[in-house]
Structure 1
Amino acid sequence: MRIRISHAISYVYAEPARHITQILRLTPRDHDGQHVMSWRIEPTIDGRLRATQDPFGNIVHTFSADGPIADMAIQVEGLIETTDLAGIVRGVTERVPVEVFRRDTLLTMPDAALTAFAEDVTRAAETPLSKMHALMEALHETLPCIETGQRTGLGAAAAFAAGESIPQDMAHVFMTCARHLDVPARYVSGYVAQSDTLPHANGAHAWAEVHLDDYGWIGFDPANGLCPIDTHVRVAAGLDFADAAPVRGARKGGDGEALAVRVSARNADGRAANQ
């Protein structure tokens, strides 16, 4: 499948900013499941845009500009060709030992309810792979997913206790349970093109990957209840959202910030998902 992606992040400041710095993890890499045919990041104001890589192998762009800045936007356009590998992740740049992904973080700290849930829903499964599928199916059925704009991230334990979750925290819940079951797990940010069969395919998305000895890394998307397919575009990965956040930044001045985000992911036949 060929997926055309458009991602615009716009800022307006009631008081002009004197300086801004944006850390952007918005650029996908080639691997066996996807090929980046074209990709462009364009700020709408003059500044300095520098590309590096972080310790996880993610492509990171740092944009900085001096003010006064009353408004600005980061515009991303790209075309990705994807292949359905049934969730198997191959050909990805691996910079971090697998054992690192057993670590708990502030967003994936387990509590008694989560550990009990993980043990209960996987008790009948006989292999590590079947345990992960049982965990994903149970989360998809019991933890309703709401769209990102409806609530900010809570972390795994708080999201599970709330009884509903945005896709980012559904990934955190899945990862927390997998790590409790002694399976390395990592967070993935990316995009999902609209599909008639996926309940949550609105452009920007998040899911998890686990490492199993017999398979390597495999993706699990609990919000949609399946392993990532050719609708999914993988962008960045890390221990949790903080390591793979699409945008993080700081500014001097710029009080009264108003933020608007628009994401569109179109597949080859022209259907679109907008957020």
Structure 2
Amino acid sequence: MRLAIDHQTRYRFSEPQQRLVQTLRLTPGDTHDQTVVDWRIDVDCDVRLRDSIDGFGNRVTMLYAEGPIDRIELTVAGQVLTTEADGLVRGSNELLPPPMFRRTTARTTPDAMLAEWARDTAGSGEVLAQLHRWNGALCQRFPEAADRPDRGATAVEALEGGDPDCRDLAHIFIAGVSALGLPARYVSGYRNCGEGTCPPHGWAEAWVEGLGWVGFDPSAGISPDANYVRMATALDFNGAAPIVGIRQGEGVEELSVELQVERMNGDA
């Protein structure tokens, strides 16, 4: 499948900023089932961009802008070829061994109730089947999870609040997998939702011995298919967020995001 992506992020500041420094995880990497055909990041003002690879193997662009700046617009556009892999992640840039992802963060640490629910739901038997049962249970319990700006909730807080978004569900999934004693991680990326306009998305991956990393999207109850584009992985959303940064200046900022993910005609 050939997916065309157009992602625009606009910042407006009530007072001119002296300096901006941002970390952009907005460039997908190639795998056996994901090939970047064309990709570019454009900025509507004078900036310095520096590309690198972070500790998780993600492609990162550092953005530096000197003020005064009262607005800045980032445009990410490109095309990605994807193939169906039943959720398997093959040929990704892995710098860390799977056991590293047994570590939990403040956002992925289960409490006793979450851990018990995950173990009871997963049951026994083949590991992959356990993970699919856990993934399906989350989707069944929260079938209307939205894609919305991150609120910073932990897995436990999101579960207790009863209104998790896609990122929250990924964190809850990871926390449950941790209770099962398996490595798991967060994934940020894009999803073709069939409507043209699609919010940025997040899901999870778990390590299955003998298979490798396998993706799970509890907001949809499936493993990611050819409609998904992986961007970055980390222990939680904080480490895989598309854009994070700091600014020097007074006032408040206003953020708007527009994203279109479309399947192109005559694709592979």
Aligned-partner Cα distance in 2 for 1:153–1:141: 23
Q: List structure 1 runs of 4+ shifted beyond 6 angstroms.
A: none
For 1:67 and 1:38, the matched residues in 2 are separated by 31
- Counterpart in 2 of 1:31? 31
* Distance of 2:117 and 2:142 partners within structure 1: 12
Partner of 1:149: 148
- How is 1:117-156 mapped onto 2 (pairs within 5 angstroms)? 117-123=117-123, 125-149=124-148, 152-156=151-155
Match of 2:229 in 1: 233
* Deviation at residue 54 of structure 1 after TM alignment: 0.3
Give the whole-Å Cα distance in 1 for the aligned partners of 2:76 and 2:200: 12
Aligned residue for 2:62, secondary structure, equals strand
- 1:164 corresponds to: 163
The counterpart of 2:216, out of the listed 216, 220, 235, is 220
> Taking structure 1 as the reference length, what is the TM-score of the superposition?
0.93
Contact 2:115-2:176 at 8 Å conserved across structures: yes
Distance 1:85 1:151 in 2: 29
Match of 2:206 among 199, 205, 210: 210
TM-score by length of 2: 0.95
Question: Which letter maps to 2:192?
Answer: A
Does the 8 Å CA contact 2:143/2:220 hold for their aligned counterparts?
A: no
Equivalent position of 1:190 in the other structure: 189
The residue number in structure 2 matching 1:273 is none
Match of 1:81, SS state, is strand
User: What amino acid maps onto 1:32 in structure 2?
Assistant: H
Q: Please give the root-mean-square deviation of Cα atoms over the aligned residues, in Å.
A: 1.5
Q: Which stretches in structure 2 are left out of the alignment for 5+ residues?
A: none
2:147, 2:200 within 8 Å by CA — same for their partners in 1?
Answer: no
The separation in 2 between residues aligned to 1:228 and 1:59, in whole angstroms, is: 20
Which residue number corresponds to residue 41 of structure 1?
Answer: 41
User: What SS does the corresponding residue of 1:101 show, helix, strand or coil?
Assistant: helix
Unpaired segments of 5 or more residues in structure 1? 271-275
* Distance in 2 separating the partners of 1:254 and 1:30: 40
How far has the Cα of 1:97 moved from its partner? 1.1
- How far residue 254 of structure 1 moved from its aligned partner, in angstroms, is 4.5
Deviations 1:86-129 (A, max 9, x none): 10110001101111100110110111221111012112x41111
Residue 48 of structure 1 contacts residue 65 of structure 1 at CA under 8 Å; is this kept in 2?
yes
3-state DSSP class of the match of 2:181? coil
SS at match of 1:148: coil
Range moving further from structure 2, 153-162 or 171-180: 153-162
2:67 matched residue in structure 1: 67
